[in-house]
Amino acid sequence: MSPRLRLVVPVLGLALLSLGPLVRLGIGPTEVVVSLLLWLPALARRRAPLAGLAAAAALLGAFWVSRGLAPEALLPAGLVLFWLLAVVAEHRPTREVVAGAVLVAALPVTVAVVAFAGQPGGQSVVPLTALTVLALVVGRNRRTRTSLMQALEDRAHRAERERDARDRVAVADERARIAREVHDVVAHNISVMTALADGAGYAMDAGATGPARQAVGQVASTGREAIAEMHRLLGVLRADGAAVADAPTPGLDQLDRLVEQVRAAGLAVTVTVTGSPSQLPATAQLAVHRLVQEALTNTLTHARDARTARVGLTWTPGSLEVEVRDDGRGTTPRPDPDRASGHGLVGMRERFGAWGGSVETGPGEHGGWRVRAALPLTPAGAA
């Protein structure tokens, strides 16, 4: 049903119902016309209910006075006053509600005055007063219910927006995490494969087919490992969310394997562990593993004339300190083409920052390049 019909149909139906008693009693055409006119202001109940109430009250009051304040002048159509009062109480501010209540209350007050003067009609005072109070109560209750429903709806919309915002943040975090992982895997393995391929080329030029064949085999092995790692990382993007690989997340136990890969690429790496190792969560171990991987990859890629690198893990009661040094020449900052996109060492800072740690990079005291990181082991640092 259209809004216009919803506005007209109730008024038309009530108008016809109010004419029923008049027809049965044989009331004249004047009462019929007045009854129909009383329902016309109800058509303005949505835009101007108080104005409609005032018009209906004025028409009914004029008709009642013209009939000498007789009780039969209270037409059934006069119920429109109470309907419009309920609408005013539901939708309009308090001052308009008070004004509407005064207009409608004038009817029982007038009846009381007439009854006090000794004329019939005093029995109508109580029903008219009760109808006035009932209209006010119904209107205010509907207003309260509408406000409550609106508040609940607003709260539901706000909760939905907050949930969508949290989902967007979670998606952005997951995308950043995947980007860091992909960068670390691709950069490291390609760097190792490039160094091995260069070594194989030099060996072939020198006629040493054995070392060349060994280097090429290591390239193939590193490539297969890179593909397997990429499958594991990108498995989270599958629509069904199923795991595609059973390989564990890289951690401290896989550092030896990482170092062997770098050694095979021609860089002599030594690992030193000081102190008593503590139990670390998987994500913290992943951060340490990726830091060492990124530092050694940068040494392979950017260090000039680097022959050795040292990886140091220092365990203390409150933290784990990780240091990677190389003997490359030069003290200028190494190029990091991925710095603008948030990968590389910037990604390492994000990983350690999530655990309250820090990462520092710069030239070493005796030449070369140094990457130093600290990872708190306390619960407060992890938070």
Residue at 223: amino acid letter: G
Would you state the structure tokens that stand for residue 161, as one six-digit string? 């927006």
Q: Write out pLDDT tens, residues 70-86.
A: 555 567 777 888 898 89
CA distances from 236 to 165, 189, 348 (A): 21, 21, 21
The residue that leads in pLDDT, 171 or 237, is: 171
* Secondary structure letter of residue 305 according to DSSP: T
If 0-12 CB within 10 Å is exposed, 13-18 middle and 19+ buried, where does residue 284 land?
buried
Q: Residue 25 — very low, low, confident or very high, per pLDDT cuts 50/70/90?
A: low
Predicted local distance difference test score (pLDDT) of residue 71: 55
Q: Where are the domains of the chain?
A: 3-120, 250-383
Q: What per-residue confidence (pLDDT) applies to 380?
A: 44
SS3 121: coil
User: Which tens digits make up the pLDDT trace of 141-162?
Assistant: 988 998 899 899 999 989 888 8
pLDDT at 12: 84
210-251 pLDDT, tens digit per residue, is 777 777 777 777 777 776 666 666 665 554 444 444 456 788
Most confident among 14-28, 120-134, 243-257, 286-300 (mean pLDDT): 286-300
Q: Is the pLDDT of residue 201 over 90?
A: no
Residue 356 confidence (pLDDT) above 50: yes
User: Predicted confidence band at 263 (pLDDT cuts at 50, 70, 90)?
Assistant: confident
User: For all residues of the chain together, what is the average pLDDT?
Assistant: 78
Quote the radius of gyration of the chain (alpha carbons, Å): 43
Higher pLDDT, 175 or 71: 175
Q: pLDDT at position 341, please? A: 42
pLDDT digits (tens, 9 = 90+) for 319-353: 999 999 998 875 554 554 444 344 566 777 887 88
Cα angle 18, 21, 26 (rounded to 5 degrees) comes to 125
Nearest-angstrom CA–CA distance, 29 and 19: 11
Residues 6+ away with beta carbon under 8 Å from 7: 43, 45, 46
| Per-residue model confidence (pLDDT) at position 270 | 93
Report pLDDT for 381: 45
- Long-range CB contact pairs, 222-230, < 8 A, 24+: 222/189, 222/192, 222/193, 222/196, 222/261, 223/189, 223/193, 225/189, 226/185, 226/186, 226/189, 226/190, 226/193, 229/185, 229/189, 230/182, 230/185, 230/186
Q: How confident is the model at residue 310 (pLDDT cuts 50, 70, 90)?
A: very high
Query: Who wins on pLDDT, 108 or 314?
Result: 314
- pLDDT of res. 13: 83
Flag whether pLDDT at 92 surpasses 80: yes
Predicted confidence (pLDDT) at residue 256 exceeds the cutoff of 70: yes
Q: Which CATH number fits domain 250-383: 3.40.50.170, 3.30.565.10, 3.40.640.10, 3.40.50.620?
A: 3.30.565.10
